[in-house]
Amino acid sequence: MLALVSPGQGAQTPGMLAPWLDLESVASRLRWAGAITGIDLVRLGTTGSAEEIRDTAVAQPLLVAFALAIAGELQEPAPSVVAGHSVGEYAAAAIAGAITAETALVLARERGRLMAAASSAERTGMSAVLGGDADAVAKALADRGLVAANVNTAGQVVAAGLLDALGDLAAAPPDGARVRPLDVAGAFHTTYMGSAHDGLAAVAASVPRKDPRITLLGNGDGAVVSSGDDVVRRLVQQVTSPVRWDLCMHSLADLGVTMLVELPPAGTLVGLARRALPGVETLAVKTPDDLETVRAMSWRHAAPATEPGPSWRLAVAPVAGTFRPSDVAPGSEMAPGSVVGTVVSSRDEKPVAATHGGVLVEWLAHDGDPVSPGQPVARLHPVLEPA
């Protein structure tokens, strides 16, 4: 099974687009992205300074545009699952077909602009906490009013909050831990971004969306996201909510992923996967020369093609665990969003929703059955509107 992942802010480097512009198809997509966003992304990604592309209002649309431009070169074989870290989730949502590339670019532009404005309101930042006991790290953050804004692996947490509190953490880190300040403008994925959340929610309220056609993992909890409405809700919600990339990697393992490809600017997520997903083949797409390697390797891991699905609808498990059905009898009509059951995992419980509603035709999983992420648990037939 093939997974395609997209990195987040901080992965950008000066001149990163330059070697890719010799590919006219990539250059064309990047020019179009610049027209959509109203930002000269080609210039910024080739001759822009480190300070220019550090600007949150620039970095976020630039990263999404870059990921989507290269994803366009890797459409065959199609990945079985996609995910993105932080703003990388916007590219992942477009690759999965939940939103268009143009929508992803506009939302990323607005997200970057709004988060840059929110960052200027207070002196906040982020620092990586590497190593140390997980409970001791959590206590050290809580004692200082800091938030674990990114949990990347068991030994890599990103703390966010006021700069003075981050400075105190660096001066007295938990035993066995190192604290490294990150070159970002503010405390992303925390309540300090509340104004950005509200502004983005207003923009996103009416964007066109569809149910993903490729399995998409939400970066807030690693769950399979099966509804277009839920995709857009999560894209807004993650502005003030922590990124749980550790849970995304748990889901990649539960899904049986055998190869993970990271879109450029690549390296960070592959590095995490090599430690957390032993046995999974990984490849970071760093130069145009890597494209043929990815294509050749990907065919060995691609899922077999399937015939178009029937007219009924499926409710699917968001995570791996044990299924517990609701007390609903086959033949019952369920309203859109109705809960058909829960999946109990080792961490928590997740509801299983009948996204579009319908008449329950049959259970595909039963009480106590183990289920994997994205596994159908119930089949429903659409309710036809009167002529």
Radius of gyration of the chain (CA): 21
Give the per-residue pLDDT at 387.
41
Higher pLDDT, 48 or 306: 48
The per-residue pLDDT of the chain, averaged, comes to 93
List phi, psi (to 5°) of 161.
155, -155
The residue length of the chain stands at: 387
Q: Which residues on neighbouring strands pair with residue 245, listed in sequence order?
A: none
Query: Per the residue annotation, which of 189, 197, 250, 301 is the catalytic one?
Result: 189
Strand extents, DSSP E, the chain = 2-6, 81-84, 124-131, 147-153, 156-162, 177-181, 215-216, 259-262, 281-284, 313-316, 321-325, 333-334, 338-344, 349-354, 358-363, 370-371, 376-381
Give the per-residue pLDDT at 377.
95
Any residues with CB less than 8 A from the CB of 306 and at least 6 apart, and which?
none
Q: Is the pLDDT of residue 149 over 80?
A: yes
Q: Is the pLDDT of residue 187 over 90?
A: yes
For residues 131-144, average pLDDT: 95
**326 belongs to the catalytic site:** no
Name the band, by pLDDT with cuts 50, 70 and 90, for residue 299.
confident
Give the per-residue pLDDT at 384.
59
Domains and CATH numbers, the chain: 2-118+191-298 (3.40.366.10), 121-181 (3.30.70.250), 313-381 (2.40.50.100)
Calpha distance 26→72 (Å, rounded): 8
**189 belongs to the catalytic site:** yes
Calpha distance 158→238 (Å, rounded): 15
If you search the block for the tokens 């086959």, which residue do you land on?
Answer: 330
Name the band, by pLDDT with cuts 50, 70 and 90, for residue 216.
very high
Q: Which of 264, 289, 366 is CA-nearest to residue 8?
A: 264
For residues 218-244, average pLDDT: 96
Question: What is residue 51's DSSP assignment?
Answer: H
Give the per-residue pLDDT at 386.
46
Query: Per the residue annotation, which of 6, 80, 86, 298 is the catalytic one?
Result: 86
**8 Å CB contact between 241 and 189:** yes
The string of pLDDT tens digits covering residues 79-114 is 999 999 999 999 999 999 999 999 999 999 999 999
Q: Is the pLDDT of residue 55 over 70?
A: yes
Higher pLDDT, 311 or 339: 339
pTM over the 0.85 mark: yes
**8 Å CB contact between 64 and 91:** yes
